[in-house]
Structure formats: structure tokens, C-alpha cells
Amino acid sequence: MLTLLATLWQSDSAFPNGAFAFSNGIEGLAELGERLDRDRLAAVLATTLTHRWARMDAIAVLLAFAAVDDLAGLVGIDSRLEAATLPAPQRSGSRRNGLAFLTSHARIGTTGASALKVEVDARRLHGHLPVMQGALWHRCGLDETSALAASAYGAASTMVSAAVRLGLVGAVDAQRALAATLPVIAGLIEEIGARSPVSADDFASMSPLLDIATMRHATSEVRLFSN
């Protein structure tokens, strides 16, 4: 029961994890002329989760979860994630979101968070969000499957929230899109569980439209979100 409650706590939008500042490409897609109604938003969520989250963030969460007591290991995973994230707005967004998440845990007093923040402040660690999530959620009592679920749900709900705040889709249709995404998340986590052992060599991504959207958004004159 504690694992479930800890997962709900970490997935709660009231938790100050800094995600409110990021659209993770939604604002950029809108600027490209994408009409993000319910169905298109659901398709974008499925694309992002399938072609980026499952092959990049999910692996980083798992590796960091396993390396929670190994600072050198976390630094290695974090630096490989930095090298594998080619669009700069995605790198900076992941680092900034990771720092906000880490800062909240340090203030709450989560075991190990303050030590990690020292490393980030000293620039020995980039502090990418999935790496911080994997390490700190282990400390919070989540298991690996719950950590993956919280990570995927957080990625999807951040994009859905951004779409609503940008006025691209109504709140009810946004929740329909999010509900339609839950089986996608479940399927991806099952696939990950069935994979052969993963390492940082497996970081992969295939999201050219989302990449271009975030690249162009970074130089937009008017924008609501950081990426």
C-alpha cells in the first residue's frame, strides 16, 4: 500500500516538481500550425511516449533507480543522457525540470536529495529529470514499475496541461486524450519489462517533428513555456 501511496504522491500535480513551466513541444507544435484537438493530442502523446519516453527517459529512470547508491554511476548515466539529447531545448528543459524536482525533494528531506543537489550545484551532475526521478523515487519507496508509470504519466500530463493552458483543447477533451494514453503507457511498460537488460547504450529517440517544434520554439519571440 505504501508503494501505491508514494506513487500517487509523486504523480500529484500539486507536488512542486516544476513541470508547470514546460510544454515539452506542445507550444512549438502549435506554432507550426498543428491543430491539437483531442484526437491529434492523443496521437502526439502516443508518439512522444513511444518514440522518445520509452527509449530514453524510461531507460534513464531504470538505470538511475538501480544506481541509487552509486554516485559515479549516476554521473555516467546523466552525462550519457546529455550526449544523447541533441535538441538543446530538450536538454535544458530536462535539466531545469530535474533541478526543480531535486530542490523540492531536498527541502522535503528525501534521503540523498541534498547530496545530489550539491553535485548539481557544483556542475558535476547535469541533473536530468529522469535520472533524478529514478534515484529519488527509489528513496521514496516506489518500485521500478511504479517509477516508470509515474514518469510516463508525468510526461503525458505535463503536455496535456500545457495544451489546456494554451487554449488548444478544452479541459474535458484533454482528459479524454489523457485517458486514451493510459493503455499506451501500460503497453510500453510491459514491453520494457520484457526487454533484455538495458544500458545507456540503448538511449534512442525518433521524434523529428517534435525536435523541430522545440528547436523553433526556442527562438520564438513570444512564448508561455520554457520549451
Partner 1 sequence: MNVAPRDPTFRVAVPDRLSPTSGRQVTAGLAFVRGGGRTVLARQHVPYPFHITRSFALDPRLPELATLYLQSASGGLYRGDRLRLDIEAGRGAHVHLTSQAATVVHRTPDAPALLTTTVTVREHAFLALTNDPFILFPEASFVSSMDVTVAVGARVIVSDGFATHDPEARGCPFDRLETCVRILDADGRLIATERSNLSGRGFAGVSSPLGTYRAMGSILVLGPRLGEIDPHALTAEVEPLGCCAGMSELPNGGGLIIRCLTMTGGNLARAMDHLFAAAFIALMGERPARRPK
* Chain contacts with partner 1 (rule: CB under 8 A): 32, 34, 43-44, 46-47, 50-51, 55, 62-63, 65-67, 73, 76, 80, 82-89, 91, 144-145, 148, 192-193, 195-199, 201-216, 218-219
CA 165 – CA 178 distance, rounded (Å): 15
Instruction: Extract the C-alpha cell encoding 83.
Output: 550526449
Nearer to partner 1, 109 or 208 (CB): 208
Read off the DSSP letter of residue 197.
P
Q: How far is the CB of 195 from partner 1 (least distance, A)?
A: 6
- Chain-centre distance for alpha carbon 203: 14
Nearer to partner 1, 166 or 215 (CB): 215
What is the DSSP code string of 37-89?
A: -HHHHHHHHHHHHHHTGGGTHHHHHHHHHHTTT-HHHHHHHHHHHHHH--SHH
Contact criterion met (CB below 8 Å) for 134 and 61: yes
CA 225 – CA 227 distance, rounded (Å): 6
Nearer to partner 1, 106 or 120 (CB): 120
Please provide the size of the chain in residues.
227
CA 18 – CA 101 distance, rounded (Å): 6
Q: How far is the CB of 8 from partner 1 (least distance, A)?
A: 21
Q: How far is the CB of 86 from partner 1 (least distance, A)?
A: 5
Q: How far is the CB of 49 from partner 1 (least distance, A)?
A: 9
Measured from the Cβ of residue 202, the count of other Cβ atoms closer than 10 Å reads 16
Nearer to partner 1, 76 or 141 (CB): 76
Nearer to partner 1, 20 or 37 (CB): 37
Nearer to partner 1, 109 or 197 (CB): 197
Q: How far is the CB of 108 from partner 1 (least distance, A)?
A: 26
Q: How far is the CB of 100 from partner 1 (least distance, A)?
A: 21
